[in-house]
Amino acid sequence: MSSVDLSTTLGNAWFPAPIFTASGCASSGRELSQFFELHSIGGVVTKSVMSKARHGRPTPRMAETPSGMLNSIGLQGPGIDAFLEKDIPFLLEKKARIIVSIAGETVEEYSTLARKLRGVSGISAIEVNISCPNVENRGLVFACDPEASRRVIDGVRRTIGGELPIIAKLSPDVTDLVHIAKGVVEAGADALALINTVLGMVINVETMRPQLANKTGGLSGPAIRPIAVRAIYQVHAALPKVPILGMGGVASGRDAFEMIIAGASGVSVGTASFGNPNAIPVIQNELRDLLAAKGFSSLREAIGYAHRIEVSDGE
Amino acid sequence: MSSVDLSTTLGNAWFPAPIFTASGCASSGRELSQFFELHSIGGVVTKSVMSKARHGRPTPRMAETPSGMLNSIGLQGPGIDAFLEKDIPFLLEKKARIIVSIAGETVEEYSTLARKLRGVSGISAIEVNISCPNVENRGLVFACDPEASRRVIDGVRRTIGGELPIIAKLSPDVTDLVHIAKGVVEAGADALALINTVLGMVINVETMRPQLANKTGGLSGPAIRPIAVRAIYQVHAALPKVPILGMGGVASGRDAFEMIIAGASGVSVGTASFGNPNAIPVIQNELRDLLAAKGFSSLREAIGYAHRIEVSDGE
Amino acid sequence: MSAINRNAQQIAAAVVSNKRVGQYHQLIVNIGDAANHCKPGNFVAINVGGDTSRMVLRRAFAISRVSANSISGGTMELIVAPYGQGSSWLCSQNEGAMLDVVVPLGTAFGIPTEPVQVLLVGGGYGSAPLFGLAEVLNARGCRVDMLLGASTASKIYAPMEGKRSVNSLRIYTEDGSMGQAGRVTDPIKALIDDMNIAVIYSCGPMAMLSAIDSLTRGTDVIHQCAVEESMACGIGICMTCVLPTMGSDGVISMLRSCIDGPVMDGETVLWDKVGKAL
Amino acid sequence: MSAINRNAQQIAAAVVSNKRVGQYHQLIVNIGDAANHCKPGNFVAINVGGDTSRMVLRRAFAISRVSANSISGGTMELIVAPYGQGSSWLCSQNEGAMLDVVVPLGTAFGIPTEPVQVLLVGGGYGSAPLFGLAEVLNARGCRVDMLLGASTASKIYAPMEGKRSVNSLRIYTEDGSMGQAGRVTDPIKALIDDMNIAVIYSCGPMAMLSAIDSLTRGTDVIHQCAVEESMACGIGICMTCVLPTMGSDGVISMLRSCIDGPVMDGETVLWDKVGKAL
Ligand SMILES: Cc1cc2nc3c(=O)[nH]c(=O)nc-3n(C[C@H](O)[C@H](O)[C@H](O)COP(=O)(O)OP(=O)(O)OC[C@H]3O[C@@H](n4cnc5c(N)ncnc54)[C@H](O)[C@@H]3O)c2cc1C
Ligand SMILES: Cc1cc2nc3c(=O)[nH]c(=O)nc-3n(C[C@H](O)[C@H](O)[C@H](O)COP(=O)(O)OP(=O)(O)OC[C@H]3O[C@@H](n4cnc5c(N)ncnc54)[C@H](O)[C@@H]3O)c2cc1C
Ligand SMILES: Cc1cc2nc3c(=O)[nH]c(=O)nc-3n(C[C@H](O)[C@H](O)[C@H](O)COP(=O)(O)O)c2cc1C
Ligand SMILES: Cc1cc2nc3c(=O)[nH]c(=O)nc-3n(C[C@H](O)[C@H](O)[C@H](O)COP(=O)(O)O)c2cc1C
Ligand code: FES
Ligand code: FES
**Angstrom distance (rounded) from CA B219 to CA B209:** 18
The reply to whether residue C53 touches residue D51, judged by beta carbons under 8 angstroms, is no
**pLDDT at position A3 over 90:** no
User: Which residues on D lie below 8 Å from B34 (Cβ)?
Assistant: 2, 4-6, 8, 235
- CATH number (2.10.240, 1.10.1330, 3.30.230, 1.20.120) of C231-278 reads 2.10.240
Establish how many alpha carbons lie within 13 A of residue A162's alpha carbon, considering only the half-sphere containing its beta carbon: 0
Strand D143-150 to D65-67 pairing: unpaired
Greatest CA span in chain C, whole angstroms?
A: 56
The reply to whether residue A67 touches residue C56, judged by beta carbons under 8 angstroms, is yes
Residue A139's pLDDT is 86
Cβ atoms B182, A268 nearer than 8 A:
no
Residue D162's pLDDT is 79
For chains A and C, CB pairs below 8 A equal 115
Residues at CB less than 6 angstroms from ligand 4 = B 22-25, 47-48, 71, 73, 75, 101, 129, 169, 196-197, 218, 220-221, 247-250, 269-272; D 238
Residue B136's pLDDT is 87
pTM (two decimals): 0.97
Cβ atoms B236, B304 nearer than 8 A:
yes
Residue B314's pLDDT is 39
Residue D237 vs residues B271, B291, C213, D107, D229: alpha-carbon distances, Å: 10, 29, 59, 16, 15
Residue A129 backbone phi and psi in degrees, to 5: -85, 100
B69 part of contact set with chain D, CB < 8 Å: yes
DSSP element (H, E) containing B149: helix B146-160
Q: B133: cis peptide before it, omega within 30°?
A: no
Ligand 3 pocket, residue A220 CB under 6 Å: yes
CA of A219 to the centre of ligand 1 (A): 20
| Residue C249 burial (C-beta neighbours within 10 Å; 0-12, 13-18, 19+) | exposed
- pLDDT tens for residues B142-164? 999 999 999 999 999 999 988 89
CA of D146 to the centre of ligand 1 (A): 58
Residue C230 Cα: closest atom of ligand 5: 1
In sequence order, what are the residues at sequence separation of 6 or more whose Cβ sits closer than 8 angstroms to the Cβ of residue A127?
Answer: A23, A45, A48, A99, A100, A101, A102, A167, A169, A193, A245
Check if A132 is active-site.
yes
Cβ atoms A61, A67 nearer than 8 A:
no
Task: Round the average pLDDT of chain D to a whole number and report it.
Answer: 94
Residue B311's pLDDT is 46
Domain spans, chain C: 3-105, 107-226, 231-278
- The neighbour count for residue C115, using CB atoms within 10 Å, is 14
Going by pLDDT thresholds of 50, 70 and 90, the confidence category of residue B138 is: confident
Residue nearest to atom 4 of ligand 4 (CA): B24
Rounded (10°) CA dihedral B192, B193, B195, B199: -100
Residue A92 backbone phi and psi in degrees, to 5: -65, -40
- pLDDT tens for residues D146-193? 999 999 999 999 888 878 889 999 999 999 999 999 999 999 999 988
Residue A248's pLDDT is 98
Alpha helix positions (H), C109-224: 128-139, 188-194, 206-216
**Angstrom distance (rounded) from CA C214 to CA B161:** 67
B67 part of contact set with chain C, CB < 8 Å: yes
- pLDDT tens for residues B63-91? 999 999 999 999 999 999 999 999 999 99
Annotated catalytic residue, options A132, A180, A195, A267:
A132
Residue C70's pLDDT is 65
Cβ atoms B2, B288 nearer than 8 A:
yes
User: Which of C47, C54, C56, C93 to probe by mutation at the D interface, max D CB count within 10 Å?
Assistant: C54
Nearest to B59 among D5, D10, D275 (CB): D275
- The neighbour count for residue B200, using CB atoms within 10 Å, is 28
Task: Round the average pLDDT of chain C to a whole number and report it.
Answer: 94
Residue nearest to atom 15 of ligand 4 (CA): B196
Domain spans, chain B: 8-314
CATH 2.40.30.10 fits domain D3-105 = yes
- pLDDT tens for residues C244-263? 999 989 999 999 999 999 99
Q: A89: cis peptide before it, omega within 30°?
A: no
- The neighbour count for residue D145, using CB atoms within 10 Å, is 20
Nearest to C4 among A25, A30, A275 (CB): A30
Residue C125 backbone phi and psi in degrees, to 5: -70, -5
DSSP element (H, E) containing C243: strand C242-246
**Angstrom distance (rounded) from CA A257 to CA B17:** 46
Cβ atoms A270, A227 nearer than 8 A:
no
A161 part of contact set with chain D, CB < 8 Å: no
Annotated catalytic residue, options B98, B128, B132, B164:
B132
Nearest to D236 among B27, B67, B76 (CB): B27
CA B125 to chain centre: 12
The mean pLDDT of D236-240, rounded to a whole number, is: 97
Query: Nearest ligand to the C-alpha of residue B100?
Result: 4
- pLDDT tens for residues B261-300? 999 999 999 999 999 999 999 999 999 999 999 999 999 9
The reply to whether residue B261 touches residue A208, judged by beta carbons under 8 angstroms, is yes
Cβ atoms B310, B260 nearer than 8 A:
no
| Residue D251 burial (C-beta neighbours within 10 Å; 0-12, 13-18, 19+) | exposed
Q: What's the gap in Å between the CA of A17 and the closest CA on chain D?
A: 29
Name the CATH topology of A8-314: TIM Barrel (3.20.20)
CATH 3.30.565.10 fits domain C107-226 = no
Residue of C nearest to B68 (CA): C54
CA A278 to chain centre: 19
**pLDDT at position D59 over 80:** yes
Residue C258 Cα: closest atom of ligand 5: 4
Q: What is the mean pLDDT of each run of 10 residues along chain C (278 residues)?
A: 80 96 95 94 97 97 88 90 96 96 97 94 95 94 95 92 88 95 93 90 96 93 96 97 94 96 96 91
**pLDDT at position A2 over 80:** no
Closest to A152 (Cα-Cα) out of A101, A193, A111, A196: A111
**Angstrom distance (rounded) from CA B190 to CA B170:** 13
Give helix B253-262 / helix B279-293 axis angle, nearest 10°: 60
Residue A315's pLDDT is 36
Residue B5 DSSP SS3: strand
Residues at CB less than 6 angstroms from ligand 2 = B 64; D 43, 57, 59-62, 79-81, 83-88, 125, 128, 228-231, 262
